[in-house]
Chains A and B, each alone.
Chain A
Amino acid sequence: MIPKHVQKSIGKWFDKSDEATFYERIVLQEEAVKKYTGEPYAVRFAHILGHILANMTVIVNEGERIVGSVLEIIPTAEQREYAESLSVKWWGPQVSEEERQRQVNFYFSPGWVKRRNPVFFSLGHLAYDWETIVTKGLGWYANRVSELLASGEFNDDPEKMQFLQGAQIAYEAHSAFIARYAKHAAEAARMTGNLQERNRLETISEVCSHIATGSARGLRDALQLMWMVVLISQKTAGCGVFDFSRMDQYLLPLFAKDIEAGTLTEQEALELIVEFYNKNNEIMFPTDHMSQENDSVIKNLEVSYDDPNYLVVAGKLANGTSGVNRLSFLLVQAAKLLRLKNPFIVVRWHDGIDSDFWKEVVDAMRMNATVVIYNDETMIPALKEFGIEEQDVYSYGFYGCNDPNIPALEGGLRQLWMNLVWPYELALNGGRPFGDPNRNADLNFSLRDRIQIGLMSGPYAGKKFDPEEPCPSMEAFIARYRQQMSFLLDQYRRVMEQDYEKESQWNKGRIRIEDLYLKGTIESATTWLIGGTKYHKVTLQGSGLATAVDSLAAIDTAVFREKRYTLAELRQAIKANFVGYDEMRTYLLKLPKFGNDLDSVDEYAKIVVDAFCDAVVDMNRKREGLYTYMPAISTDRDFTTMGEALAASADGRLAGAPISENQSPYIGSDKSGMTALLNSVTRVPFNRITGGPLNLRLHPSTVEGPEGLAKLASLLEVYLRKGGMQAQMNVVGKAELIEAQKNPEKYKNLCVRVVGYAAYFVQMGKKAQDELIQRTEL
């Protein structure tokens, strides 16, 4: 059961105005920025944090046991104008690209950066050392830094001393903030005549008073402490999109101790987890940050508004046994109860996983809880290939969106969306984009592309060659594809390494809030940005997999196997965007496509992904500086943007049309059922791929009842056993079925169960569709 106060909070959340703002942060931050001008960077940073934490309102809401909220108001026109003026001051048109790069070498989008003050900056996307936070407590952190300051180890490096002084002030500010909650709750307890209410408030006060510096004594302390750390980082400094990492592992000893001592029942533990999840959701904004065109996103004044936090359950332990325990069950059950967008639960599957647990997970998935599955059997070898050591690899997790992470041992996300279709276009056209044939490769990866999201939208030029040069075989064409892939990635590596060098210069002595809770940063008095952590990586999101696969397979069939067209003819047709080439395009469109379990196409999944991974291996061999590169397969929501600069492709796709989404077949081209789709996807050598989503869409009728659950659990398990890496699913609702009726071309693979048989929704007549829509409850 969801506690009443949580139900109420969720209800309020759905009604929250899209103008609601934690406005105190804006005012307090700017006050502090002025007040502490002239101080060394790291010290000033910590004083800004301290000023906000000492003065922001503390709130204990009705009924809650885990506390920590921010005061939200609807800003007046004047307040809004003030906040906007700060954004313009920091990031307005007067700030050049070069200056932006100096301030912040990498950020996700102008929308994400605009509310963040460059002197108090973070983008999150990482995992703190949660285990140390809960088992040692904030006092331990403060003591450690005091000892380091006193040790004299860094006496001859003033910047490092400033870094440590900043850290010390920041830890103390954390503790003082939590102590304010203890005091507030104690005062409220004295004011109330209701005994039960007094008990609740006194307990809150006692817990907060303890965890202000102490380590967690049980599950409640741990969740409260973690929540305070998250609230501070995410809402004041914009450090969100956390990976809570393996919660069922590091919280297990505390949970087990509570249960053994009889101080907590499993039901109470479940309710605490529900509260903790809801806290993560409560601070979100009911919008979608990936829709940067949304008015509510543009107007938003928050530093962190709808970025989900991730947590990891299950998975193998380093000793080879399973990590599934009672807490794993509770963490999944809580997600199933709440079915909120945040937090995002990653379940790590491994061979031999407990079958009851697996059913629990799949049941949550079919209820559209935010639960996704990853495969240890592919992830672990992949992470090892790309440089993660055996001793660290079992701790792996994810943060948004589906990016791999080694908790506490690395800083935030840096990425390039490597558009896998570009090397194919360049291989077909002499290393030049069809849309800009005179383009020079020096123009690739502009500064703006690099410092922003790293989206590979294009156009791009590759290694130039004469397109008329004979290409005698498909192998020769594949060699061209590989050559263009390596060319682009190596070029990217070289310019990024220059950027990171500049970043290192600029960030000496600086600190970001996450440095407080990573491993290595404090010990070396060095921010992760310039080497404080063990690992530094750039995630290379391979995008447009199916479009690249279908296009290469089409060339193989059309040019080399059936010899129906020559490469030159194909090039002409593509240049003309198939205008006047209807017959050719129809032929190409009807060639076999990825997603139907057909070897002649699917073998290209391995060819494309190996080309990509081999190029990444090569980058890592040549790399200079901190960063290693790791391949993933993902487009997130940017498959439309990434198609815009591409010409038509040999799969029959028209110029500018979207590329394929994440790991899915091209939209509408998988028509052979779910097992055929999954079989095709398993042809990707996922044991070299470190992350990314496969979206599956199911109609509720296919997964109904205990039998439906058993089938789905089995289906997903076989997929993973056959080498699939990830799956997340959407059991479609009414609205989506209506959408499918309107745009059938996008829903060709949507399978529904009609009493005794299954059918493709879009192939059914309107009347039958209407009847199914009526039967769909969600």
Chain B
Amino acid sequence: MKFRAEIDIMPLKEILDPQGKAVKLGLDNLGVKDVQDVRIGKHIQLEIEAADKAEAEQKVELACKKLLANLIMEFYEYKIFEAEMA
């Protein structure tokens, strides 16, 4: 079966995100007021072949833990969809 994983990777809350800070400045200059905070991460899509959702999940876990995210500085969240239904 084909699955699609939608993965979000974000800098840990306690870590300063200079990119987000710079973008917040840009938003202020644009005139978008009352933005309290901006944090920037990554969105990654994987298309995976797996026997079932559980196996797809295992693969996504391994990918996130070992390569896609660095758990010292980031955390990840994901959702897995059956590709046909997408």
Co-assembled chains A and B = no
Name A's B-contacting residues (CB within 8 A). Answer: none
Name B's A-contacting residues (CB within 8 A). Answer: none
